[in-house]
Structure 1
Amino acid sequence: MSVSAASLPILTRLRQQTRAAHDALEQQEFNRALATGTLTEAATHRFLAKLYGFVVPFEKQLRLHAAEFGPEWELERRARAHLLGQDLSQAEHLPLAPQMPPLHTRVQLLGALYVLEGSTLGGQVIARQLAQAGIPARAYFSGHAGHTGSLWKSFTALLTEAATPELADDIVASALLTFQRLHEWIESDTY
């Protein structure tokens, strides 16, 4: 990486260096069907089931490392696996992603949090598109509802503060791997 890239603010680096992986994730089947107006109830259920299989193990690891974060991170408030449970009948019987990104350190969790917290913003867009398609609202996509913007802003402020120059490369690497593993899991045949 060039010296100039390393000196960029963490949010700029995250956006720039994960753009291709983020774009690839947005091109998967659910989003294509949503964009073309061909989304079905079954495809929505499958997508939510895939998200459940990724979000549940992520949040489990986050809870295991919660002591490494202060109360200002509001980790319990940010949790959304329970919303997927509301959206899916018998969610507890759904398969979990077998290949999660490493989530054993605070730095790894910060990168993954960037991806999953950012998905709350995308969820707001998806919720509107589902309504336009006549597909019933889903709790997961509504996420934090009216608090989504303020929670995102507080998250980005905390991340900016936590991302010291020594940690920034590892945070970006974790975010990139999280996007990649999530994409692989969503595209896999496991369901």
Structure 2
Amino acid sequence: MFSLEPRTLLQTLKAETRPHHERAERVVRLMSPDLTLSGYRRHLEALYGLHAPLEAVLAERLEGLASELRLAERWKLPWLAEDLRALGHDEASLARLPRLADPPSLPGGPEALGALYVLEGSTLGGQLILRHLTRHFEGVSVGRFVYFRAYGEAVGPMWKAFGEALLRLCPDPALAPRVVRGAQDTFDAFEAWLREVHVDVPSHL
């Protein structure tokens, strides 16, 4: 069995998912100077509707790896729930939010790891969004931006730990295409879902 450096697999993922990532980024409007409080709330609601079914699939596919991947620390749904409660939601209204009906199937562990790569990578980009939101909503009661704050000072170490775990769990280069496919499908699901629930996303993007 050939070994694969974690950096190599991460670079492969980055290269092979770049167009999928870029399309998904174009439907995120949180960096707009015209962002309203209701727009921010709608975006969090959409993310909640995506993460709820997707994290359920990941929990099932990665059940035996939960400890090694530190999944209990990595779930984003509780962060989104806290942010939404700060914006007026309660448990009943959270339960009524629309949810992605057809999440990526992620048939095996490698595909699920590809999906987790997307979710974990979002914590890195989220730091830029966090800085913008903090300035944009200064003086406004919007909560603590828990989702975008993510792991706080531990964002870098948590990302590094994920990369190391990915190496241990996918040491065979033959698994790389399956990991990539899971990441691509997750980016595509993200883009399609935000287009569906955000009517203000231009159709030509």
TM (normalized to structure 2)? Answer: 0.82
Q: Which has the higher helix share?
A: 1
Match for residue 13 of structure 1? 12
| Cα-Cα RMSD | 1.9
Is contact 1:9-1:160 (8 Å) kept? no
TM-superposed CA distance for 1:102, in Å, is 1.2
Structure 2 letter corresponding to 1:107: P
Structure 2 counterparts to residues 39-118 of structure 1, below 5 A = 39-69=35-65, 71-88=67-84, 89=89, 90-118=93-121
TM-superposed CA distance for 1:95, in Å, is 1.1
Structure 2 letter corresponding to 1:174: G
- The whole-number CA distance in structure 2 between the counterparts of 1:17 and 1:45 is 32
Is contact 1:57-1:96 (8 Å) kept? yes
The yes-or-no answer on 1:124 pairing with 2:108 is: no
Q: Using CA pairs below 8 Å that are at least 6 residues apart, which structure has the higher relative contact order?
A: 2
- The whole-number CA distance in structure 2 between the counterparts of 1:103 and 1:17 is 17
The yes-or-no answer on 1:27 pairing with 2:34 is: no
Secondary structure of the structure 2 residue equivalent to 1:91: helix
**Matching residue within 177, 185, 191 for 1:177:** 185
- The whole-number CA distance in structure 2 between the counterparts of 1:29 and 1:152 is 22
Is contact 2:83-2:146 (8 Å) kept? yes
Identity over aligned pairs, percent: 33
Is contact 2:62-2:112 (8 Å) kept? no
Is contact 1:11-1:160 (8 Å) kept? no
Structure 1 letter corresponding to 2:186: T
Secondary structure of the structure 1 residue equivalent to 2:156: helix
Residue segments in structure 1 that go unaligned for 5+ positions in a row: 1-7
TM-superposed CA distance for 1:14, in Å, is 0.6
Is contact 2:9-2:176 (8 Å) kept? yes
- The whole-number CA distance in structure 2 between the counterparts of 1:190 and 1:29 is 10
Structure 2 letter corresponding to 1:15: K
Match for residue 158 of structure 1? 165
- The whole-number CA distance in structure 1 between the counterparts of 2:33 and 2:190 is 24
TM-superposed CA distance for 1:44, in Å, is 0.7
Cα gap change, 1:110/1:132 in structure 2, threshold over 3 Å: closer, same or farther? same
How many residues are matched?
A: 181
Cα gap change, 1:22/1:190 in structure 2, threshold over 3 Å: closer, same or farther? closer
Is contact 1:21-1:180 (8 Å) kept? yes
- The whole-number CA distance in structure 2 between the counterparts of 1:139 and 1:70 is 22
